[in-house]
Copies of this chain bind each other. A is one copy, B any other.
Amino acid sequence: MSKTYSISELASEFDVTTRSIRFYEDQELLHPTRRGQTRIYSSKDRVRLKLTLRGKRLGFSLAEIRELFELWDETRSGSEKQLHLMLSKISERKAALEQQMKDITMVQLELESAEIRCRQALEELNEKHPATAK
């Protein structure tokens, strides 16, 4: 009897619209059960929603996210072939994430130096213009 959630509970917890959540179901990322016609979300669904949103923030498409979910499900009782496929997908993703880490680091460095140049420009303004006090 683990916990369940309504669609609006999940929507407000993760700050997405119910429209999005239904859309994710349509794309087979979530598989809520029903009571009557009302959707009931398990904690597994909740985890999947969380993972979905995280994946999105990382630039994965919904299709890619779905592919990962499916692979993982198939893998859970998988043949050797499935397991190897999963391992190769995993290392694909790992490589992509490492590239992203590098990109982020580069941009962070650029932002740092941009910030420094901004502050210097401000100081120069204040020397010519020591007026605007405090």
Instruction: Name A residues whose Cβ lies closer than 8 Å to a Cβ of B.
Output: 51, 54-55, 57-59, 72, 75, 78, 80, 83-84, 86-87, 90-91, 93-94, 97, 99-101, 103-104, 106-108, 110-111, 114-115, 118-119, 121-122, 125, 132
Majority SS of interface residues in chain A? helix
* A107 and B97 in contact, given A59-B57, A59-B59, A125-B80 (Cβ under 8 angstroms): yes
Please indicate the chain B residues that have their CB under 8 angstroms from the CB of A114 in the complex: 72, 86, 90
Partner of A118, one of B86, B94, B97, B101: B86
How many monomers of this protein are in the complex? 2
A93 touches B111 (CB 8 A): yes
The docked-state distance in angstroms from the alpha carbon of A55 to that of B103 is 8
B121 near A83 with CB under 8 A, answer yes
A78: chain B residues within 8 A (beta carbon): 121
Per CB-CB distance, the 10 closest pairs between chain A and chain B, nearest first, are A59-B59, A90-B115, A57-B103, A87-B118, A83-B122, A83-B118, A97-B104, A90-B111, A54-B103, A86-B118
B90, B118, B121: the one contacting A90 at CB < 8 Å is B118
Chain B min CB distance to A121 (Å): 6
